[in-house]
Amino acid sequence: MSFFIYILQSEIDGSFYIGQTNNLDDRLKRHNAGLERYSRTKRPWKIFWSSQVESRAEAMKLERKLKNFKSRKRIIEFVLKATSR
């Protein structure tokens, strides 16, 4: 089963939310419906970037890497580098 690592961007304030899932469309709907505690106050959300990986372990590893950047600039640099491949 494949998984997705994703970055959502709030259309309210431009902030990012980083996560992983096996169903990207459903996950985006849950965020925009207000069913996720952290993201409900900043909806609506749009997909800023996503990538499909082979396993949940791989998705969780990349999610942790992105969250450890702790800098919007570093996250954007990562996305630009990843999309230019």
| pTM of the shown model | 0.93
What's the confidence (pLDDT) of residue 30?
A: 97
Between CA 67 and CA 82 the distance in angstroms is 16
Tokens at residue 20, please? 């992983």
Banded model confidence at residue 70, pLDDT cuts 50, 70, 90: confident
**Domains of the chain, with CATH numbers?**
3-83 (3.40.1440.10)
65 three-state secondary structure? helix
Q: How far apart are CA 37 and CA 82, in angstroms?
A: 29
Nearest to 7 by CA among 71, 55, 67, 61: 67
Write the CB contacts of 64 (distance below 8 Å, at least 6 apart in sequence): none
Residue 84 confidence class, pLDDT cut points 50, 70, 90: confident
